[in-house]
Structure 1
């Protein structure tokens, strides 16, 4: 992969659809060349679209829930300076925790937390050595509330939301910014993949992923610490800081309980 003269290099994970796809598009439109990764063959179609925007694009198809998958992605960097890491890969899982296959629950944890942190550490060390870099981590407003019938996912996002602020503080003297994008329900394949299409949240109105990605990209470029996309989500996160956790858990039950979307 030969970079375009004057272009910076961005790595975007979970780029085959949804917010990740739109984040990659934002990068391509704003002068970045790209390494995009996902576990989905659709990543090749996305690459062709991004090349049409003038970016040099390399693809990596790998399961970023595994250390081997992250190593495969990192190897594709080939020691080049990464100017922006957009760590977006993640997925959810609906239904009650005791009813879930533990392998599925663990895959959520390993994708949302383990693989994400491993990649950030590997690329972040290079940024620290150069004293330059931007990191955008896709968290969620779900991290502000106990996720009844989505307990594992919300727990991982609570971890990610917290981790991003801690990492930001640790690297602030090394020319690195860390931004946490916290979307609410977004119109992607997330709810279908999580088995939540029969829930109120699965069937409810959702945000435009292009708008969410633009909000996150612009916050990253400004070096903001965090950004919640959408005024309704901002209100919800503000309320979550004062409402007791038990009440929040019951509110989440009403939105995510299987069958709650049926009339």
Structure 2
């Protein structure tokens, strides 16, 4: 069986950069995103430059068909999944009741259900094979409640909690689960989340390439939780030790507010 790494949300940003890191290690990859043309262009470029095999699955992981499409590719090509990177996800910024419930449902399907499903099925295979690495991409937004980013932050809190729990469960299996929690990162995430006027993105935005390297290295070490950037580590630390939940909320609201507030 051909060993591969699955990377979701691989058509740009952190997912694309992680795909390149696998390619540099001569590890075959299965890249997943909604845009088939982008995936095919990436496949062609990576195969030509790195001489590896790239499989493409164009699907919407927010739907029930997403996992089926990936698994069909895995089984039909007789692939063994040694690495899984659950990177696909999106946010939606604004006052909770002024945003779309339809978008919230889509977000939860992608950020929670898809991550759980892919992790469940491929972790089971990894444990059976006696080896594997899983990287679930969360966010510093998942470390505390986030006014104006409530549903996204809650979904990433789930990802953090799930990954930390199974990391412990997998201790004696030779399979590891790592959670990556980036802060503000220069990708198209901000545009899709309608965050162009959020204070959070005024300064200290990290590059997707740097975040990807931190996450990739952490996964390969089998680390539990990796947070890229000194400022993000500091914010996470103070959030974890702050005694007053009301104080945490006030600070988070200030950080997450709009520039005109």
The TM-score, its normalising length taken from structure 1, stands at 0.93
TM alignment of 1:205-216, pairs within 5 A: 205-216=204-215
* Aligned 8 A contact 1:146 1:245 in 2: no
Determine whether 1:61 maps to 2:58: yes
1:166-198 deviations in whole A, cap 9, x for unaligned? 111122222101111111110001111001111
Q: Which residue of 2 aligns with 1:44?
A: 40
1:97-122 deviations in whole A, cap 9, x for unaligned? 11111010111111000011111111
1:185-212 deviations in whole A, cap 9, x for unaligned? 1000111100111111244331011011
Q: Which residue of 1 aligns with 2:107?
A: 108
Determine whether 1:23 maps to 2:18: yes
TM alignment of 1:39-188, pairs within 5 A: 39-41=34-36, 42-51=38-47, 52-78=49-75, 79-188=78-187
Q: Distance in 2 between matches of 1:102 and 1:242?
A: 33
The TM-score, its normalising length taken from structure 2, stands at 0.93
Shifted more, 155-164 versus 73-82: the winner is: 73-82
Which blocks of at least 5 consecutive residues in structure 2 are unaligned? none
Q: Which residue of 1 aligns with 2:249?
A: 249
Q: What SS does the aligned partner of 2:6 have?
A: strand
| Structure 1 residue 44 displacement after superposition | 2.1
| Structure 1 residue 75 displacement after superposition | 1.4
| Structure 1 residue 246 displacement after superposition | 2.1
Which blocks of at least 5 consecutive residues in structure 1 are unaligned? none
* Aligned 8 A contact 1:197 1:203 in 2: no
Segments of 4+ moved more than 3 angstroms? 202-205
* Aligned 8 A contact 2:146 2:252 in 1: yes
Q: How many residues in Structure 1 have an aligned counterpart in Structure 2? A: 256
Q: Distance in 1 between matches of 2:212 and 2:192?
A: 20
Q: What SS does the aligned partner of 1:59 have?
A: strand
* Aligned 8 A contact 1:74 1:122 in 2: no
* Aligned 8 A contact 1:145 1:245 in 2: no
* Aligned 8 A contact 1:196 1:256 in 2: no
Determine whether 1:189 maps to 2:184: no
| Structure 1 residue 253 displacement after superposition | 2.1
Q: What SS does the aligned partner of 1:173 have?
A: coil
Q: What SS does the aligned partner of 2:241 have?
A: coil
| Structure 1 residue 261 displacement after superposition | 2.5
